[in-house]
Chain A
């Protein structure tokens, strides 16, 4: 199924090192339009680093990242334009505390794309509706629960109508009872055909929502395939060890 659509994101030979520590040791990955990719792996395996290299929050040390037909480069003056096409959701939400939920969502459309305020507001309200927080439009982040904050953050990431969404452990900073509402929103996005890359420890969610699962360890993709293949009958011993650790907790 991946081969039918042209890849929206193509990564080749991606390396990333922090000083002496080489975190990514050659990643090749191509993501098709509408694909939902789950990224699993032990802590420190480089899941966040991989996602952050894609929109250049980290500069890759080596390798090539292509978004549609644009090669993303450090020197690229249009990195900001590319970023508007790649939405990102952070583990710690990173909402702007001085702005209301609505203003958080409107900021990029108004200040980056120059959308008129009235239009931006209408669209932002629609997005809040989509994440089921219409009544919290005028609340400040501090007045929202963690789950609500993360849903606003997702709405904010959607505001520029990105073509790819990057999720970096979107639920792992949440209290367990709040995880569900966020996963609900993401499930909904997947149904709508969004292209998503999700670093997560939520194996259940991966199984049901992801089309493909990657197991990352030691800076390389150790194993990949459908959720059934990777999560239920992994071939690599490292994958098996990881899964038994996670599932037996």
Chain B
């Protein structure tokens, strides 16, 4: 019953603040001595994972900021779209994720700090495609971007039609799309592009320089000006005492120029930062792209050694996938059986509620259900201390509905004569279910249940959006770090296959035994049909 209610929430409830703990964000951070920072760890060099460890420009910077606030930084790695929702859901105090300050985002309710990084959008294209040299050349082309990034907005603004904009979760995927001639160019942050081209897209080059200055800032929740102010003060220190320069050198691998620092300082009053759409700086474009493309073979081939190096992480991810799937199956089977029994024999109101629940779960995307559990429930005071649990909860809510249908179909497939014979012997309804109907149902539902397990194992990859580091997520992170999505996804796919194949062959075996069983054992059912 609770289940059904929970599933309604995302539809019914606008997200409300649940901050019963008094004080604003800054007070809360100080009180718990922790600054919780949300980030999408697939965006090198700003934030990414290497050997399972979170690192990057933003990570060093965030740790410094926390230090200066007298607290510890706690990092919350999420998918980018989840990062954007994390403040409102009170999952995090701050976003530090290479996030560009835009008017649009300010309107959406983010309070930005002063800019801490000067970035810009650049265009990357295949070396052999001379038709693209600047933003205006893109109008008639197909352009790939990372979803919900300033790169995407920029492309939209110059009037590229929506069906010519290819949106990807990850930048390497966007570049791979260009490599495969599916799109003509990609538009994204210059630092990220530089790194990718250097590492594994030597068959491409950056053209047109920075087409638009962009200022990257830390984002706090709407109205949290005190926190933003404190962050600003910390940033001011960091940028003047040499800390900033060394972080910049370490991750961007260039010295921080005074020109850039001057620009950042000029924009320190973040309220005045706006992005001018038409601003194009083409000045040093040729030298830059020439410098970037020095001698690196195109990385089209599969890099086996990468997979080997990442094996520990990948297996760790596979373990999480198995754990999530396993517990979801156990809980989902118990809940599913109870729901099925309730649908068949509970009083009508409960029955109706169960039907309602099953229909809601089956009629909405799993991804939405996962977001609902993670982001909406906390607004009602229900929260999970750990994303794996939230992931298992969300998947269980979903699987229970499907498993309930499997059980219901299984129970209903048992010949009515079985129930009658049991009742005629004096067994009550429960006894008849327990000793006669369910044991037969169980054998019958085993194949479809195993199929459900296979589906679940694959669907469990969706909980990566709420920072569960399962196999798919590890794959994405390593792919982002190594800029080799093709290799990684091939490897990840192989691991999924290695996990699902034994299950599917089990189904086949079960189905075979059931078939020979049914040929003789299910005789009553057959006769009934014939009679």
Q: Min CB distance, A61 to chain B, in Å? A: 19
**Cβ–Cβ contact B521 & A142, under 8 A:** yes
**Cβ–Cβ contact B428 & A80, under 8 A:** yes
| A173 contacts the other chain (CB 8 A) | yes
The range of chain B's interface size is: 20 to 34
Interface residues in A82-134 by Cβ distance below 8 A to B read 83-84, 86-88, 90, 92-98, 107-108, 111-113
**Cβ–Cβ contact B521 & A108, under 8 A:** no
Q: Min CB distance, A94 to chain B, in Å? A: 4
**Cβ–Cβ contact A142 & B523, under 8 A:** yes
Interface residues in A68-87 by Cβ distance below 8 A to B read 80-81, 83-84, 86-87
Q: Which residues of A contact B523 (CB under 8 A)?
A: 97, 141-142
Q: Which residue of A lies closest to B429 (CB)?
A: A80
Q: Which residues of B contact A98 (CB under 8 A)?
A: 439-440, 443, 521
Which one of B417, B427, B528 contacts A111 once the chains associate, using CB atoms below 8 Å?
A: B427
The CA of A173 and the CA of B436, in the complex, are separated in Å by: 23
Q: Which residues of A contact B425 (CB under 8 A)?
A: 83-84, 107-108, 112, 156-157, 159-160
Q: Which residue of B lies closest to A96 (CB)?
A: B436
**Cβ–Cβ contact A81 & B426, under 8 A:** yes
Residue-wise interface mask of A (147-178) relative to B, using a CB-CB cutoff of 8 A (1 in contact, 0 not): 00000000011011000000000000100000
The CA of A159 and the CA of B443, in the complex, are separated in Å by: 27
Total number of residue pairs linking A and B with CB closer than 8 Å: 77
Which one of B417, B428, B522 contacts A92 once the chains associate, using CB atoms below 8 Å?
A: B417
Q: Which residues of B contact A81 (CB under 8 A)?
A: 426
Q: Min CB distance, B164 to chain A, in Å? A: 61
A97 with B424, Cβ < 8 A, contacts A90-B417, A112-B431, A142-B520 known: no
| B493 contacts the other chain (CB 8 A) | no
Q: Which residues of B contact A80 (CB under 8 A)?
A: 426-428
Q: Min CB distance, B456 to chain A, in Å? A: 27
Q: Min CB distance, B425 to chain A, in Å? A: 4
| B28 contacts the other chain (CB 8 A) | no
Q: Min CB distance, B159 to chain A, in Å? A: 68
Which one of A83, A93, A140, A173 contacts B426 once the chains associate, using CB atoms below 8 Å?
A: A83
| A239 contacts the other chain (CB 8 A) | no
Q: Which residues of A contact B522 (CB under 8 A)?
A: 97
The CA of A86 and the CA of B439, in the complex, are separated in Å by: 26
Q: Which residues of B contact A94 (CB under 8 A)?
A: 415, 417-418, 420-421, 524
**Cβ–Cβ contact A173 & B521, under 8 A:** no
Q: Min CB distance, A92 to chain B, in Å? A: 5
| A195 contacts the other chain (CB 8 A) | no
| B435 contacts the other chain (CB 8 A) | yes
The CA of A159 and the CA of B424, in the complex, are separated in Å by: 12
- Max chain A C-beta neighbours (<10 A), residue from B426, B439, B528: B426
| B527 contacts the other chain (CB 8 A) | yes
Q: Which residues of B contact A241 (CB under 8 A)?
A: none
| A200 contacts the other chain (CB 8 A) | no
Spell out A's residues near B (CB within 8 Å).
Answer: 55, 57, 80-81, 83-84, 86-88, 90, 92-98, 107-108, 111-113, 140-143, 156-157, 159-160, 173
Known: A86-B424, A111-B435. 16 other contacts (CB 8 A): A83-B426, A84-B426, A90-B420, A92-B527, A92-B528, A94-B420, A95-B421, A96-B422, A98-B439, A98-B443, A107-B427, A111-B431, A142-B520, A160-B425, A160-B426, A173-B527
- 23 CB < 8 A contacts A-B: A55-B424, A57-B420, A57-B423, A80-B426, A80-B428, A83-B423, A83-B424, A84-B425, A84-B426, A88-B424, A92-B417, A92-B524, A92-B527, A94-B415, A94-B524, A95-B421, A96-B421, A96-B422, A96-B440, A97-B524, A112-B427, A143-B520, A157-B425
Across the A-B interface, the 4 shortest Cβ-Cβ residue pairs: A142-B520, A94-B421, A84-B426, A94-B417
